[in-house]
Structure formats: C-alpha cells, structure tokens
Amino acid sequence: MKQKEITIRYNEYTSKELSTLQSNLIKQSVKAQESSHSPYSNFRVGAAILLDSGEIILGSNQENAAYPSGLCAERVAIYTCGSNHPTKIIKLIAISASSSQFDINEVLAPCGACRQSMLEFEHKQKADIKVLLKGADGQVVEFNSIKDLLPIPFNCDELQNVS
C-alpha cells in the first residue's frame, strides 16, 4: 500500500485586499442573486463569469417544485457561456450566496455537479479557470483552478476510450 496526499493552495482576501476586477466580479455575483428563483429553499446563489473578451456573464440558481429539476447558478452561467460564447475563454468565476431564512457564516463551495461541469469547460478550453468564493463579512477565497476544487475528477478524456 502507498499512502498519498493531495494538497491544494488558495488565497484568502478581505474585501479591502481585492483588486478592482475581483471586487467588481464579486459585486456582479451578488447582483446575479436578484434573478434567483428560490422559493423553496430561500437560498439565493449568484455567479459571475469573466470571459477573455472582458464580457461578464451572470447566472443564478433556478429551483423547481419537481426536485431536482432546478439548476445551480454556476451551471446556469457556465452553460450560458457554452451556448452563447463557445469560442471565448472563461478566465474567472465569482460565486456568492445569501438567504433571508438563515445566516451564512462561512465560504460556501460549489456542489459536485457544478465542480464537474466547470472542470469540463476548463479542460475543453485548455486553460485554468480561477474561482472566487464570497464568504461572510467580506471574506473571499480564491482558487487558481477548478482542479483545486475537484482534485480527483472524472476525466472526460476517458470517455473517448469507451467503445
């Protein structure tokens, strides 16, 4: 048996330490929450994606009474990029969440399905996608790649070997 270890690195910022670009993208992710359709969970999530062209694409979570038919904000935003901007490179995604029913006191990370979907786009474009996660009290955590959030992924290259 071999025991191995996976280590990831990330940066923690206060709101005052963010660059203008990072701060703007976080603000856009908060703005995206306004279009959230979350009458069942009262948990609003917003995502803002920065493309290499400078365009910002927004997404918000969309719930449905027929669970699990809804879609997370991250996938709404990333699939919008895939549909409307298939040749552009995704540079950065900022994600924020809020609720009128409970306090969010820590940085919340994307679900597994969103991580896998974002990783697929990172793999497709052959370029890392940075991730900013907004926490409470202005705390922001930055990951340099989706691979940092999903270090042992289901690799889409393996599907090419299926006959």
What are the catalytic residues? 74
Least Cα distance to 85 among 54, 123, 60 occurs for 54
Length of the chain: 163
Q: What is the largest CA-CA distance in the chain?
A: 53
Pairing mode of beta strands 90-99, 130-134: parallel
Indicate the SS3 state at residue 48.
strand
